[in-house]
Amino acid sequence: MSDSKYLVEVKDLKQHFKIPTGFFGHIDLKAVDGVSFNIKPGETLGLVGESGCGKTTVGRTLLRLYKPTSGEVRFNGELVTEQNITPLRKEMQMVFQDPYSSLDPRMTVEDIIGEPLDVHKLYANKNERRDKILSIMELVGLNAEHATRYAHEFSGGQRQRIGIARALAVNPKFIVCDEPVSALDVSIQAQVINMFEELQEKLGVAYLFIAHDLLVVHHISDRIAVMYLGRIVEIADADELNNSPIHPYTLSLLSAVPIPDPNKARQSKRIILEGDVPSPLRMPTGCPFRTRCKYATEKCAIECPSLTDRGNGHMVACWNK
């Protein structure tokens, strides 16, 4: 089965949430509307986009925390279904955004990290469990004496390390990192991101790194996908995307990245989009970005562009660029 060169393959994934309107009716909220991408073993795919564009939903649907409306996810060439998800949870893990609410306040660090081991019964006796937990804690830079403490006794960065340790406990091949650093201070962000990179080198784990900070994503990712209103509009190698973006939305996103040199910053021109993001309850026809795009034509309103290869695996979904 695993003759595919990709670790994770996502094909036309859709996640529509039903929003009840009144007693019987409901309308669909198209949080994710036809997303496809692949991730190689040991690779990092960055996923960026503004708030509410469906980044987190992609990550969660990928791990079957939500049941997808349609589309398929393959892991190691194997189709992920409701039946085989439980053993696959050992291979695919998640690191959460909020290090405060993602750790149970009633559990010690040892139990939090040990929980995945308990669930999958990955140890023969108590000593083995403890040894495994301590070795994982060492891996993420926590001291052995922290094991008996409770999560509320730690700082945000340390809490995120605990969350990462929990994800690593079952030796996964793939981790969805759902904005793992956006709740942290900038200096702590750097520590945690460097740790992600070190862990990838040591363990060869692949990441889907969700964030809204383009600098962070560019730093850690091999490839970057840009999302807008539930669709991927551009996907390319990190450097390629940064240096020669094609999609108008990516252009405006990149122009919003702060430049640490004031002289350069003064010269650069910000592309400011007009209007607001349309509600995902009432998506525009055709291309979702057309309402704010200065290149929009009639064709954009009729048909939604699909991702097309512009060379070197640089995929863009736009009619006009």
The dihedral built from the CA positions of residue 46, 50, 56 and 61, taken in this order, carries a sign that is negative
The nearer residue to other proteins, 172 or 288, going by C-beta atoms, is 172
The nearer residue to other proteins, 3 or 145, going by C-beta atoms, is 145
Strand partners, 267: none
Minimum distance from CB of 148 to other proteins (Å)? 7
The nearer residue to other proteins, 205 or 229, going by C-beta atoms, is 205
Minimum distance from CB of 251 to other proteins (Å)? 34
Minimum distance from CB of 89 to other proteins (Å)? 3
Cα separation values, 15 from 32, 141, 305, Å: 5, 37, 19
Token representation of residue 282: 């009432």
Minimum distance from CB of 86 to other proteins (Å)? 5
A 10 A CB-CB count for 298 gives 8
The nearer residue to other proteins, 154 or 289, going by C-beta atoms, is 154
The nearer residue to other proteins, 79 or 302, going by C-beta atoms, is 79
* 75 in Cβ contact with 139 (< 8 Å): no
The nearer residue to other proteins, 120 or 130, going by C-beta atoms, is 120
Minimum distance from CB of 66 to other proteins (Å)? 10
- Footprint on this chain of other proteins (rule: CB under 8 A): 60, 63, 65, 85-86, 89-90, 93-94, 96-98, 101-107, 115-116, 119-120, 148-150, 153, 163, 166, 170
Minimum distance from CB of 101 to other proteins (Å)? 5
Closest CA to 210 of 41, 51, 59: 59
* 230 in Cβ contact with 305 (< 8 Å): no
- Alpha-carbon 262 to chain mean position: 31
Residue 7 CB contacts under 8 Å (≥ 6 apart), including other chains: 39, 40, 41, 43, 75, 76, 173, 174, 206
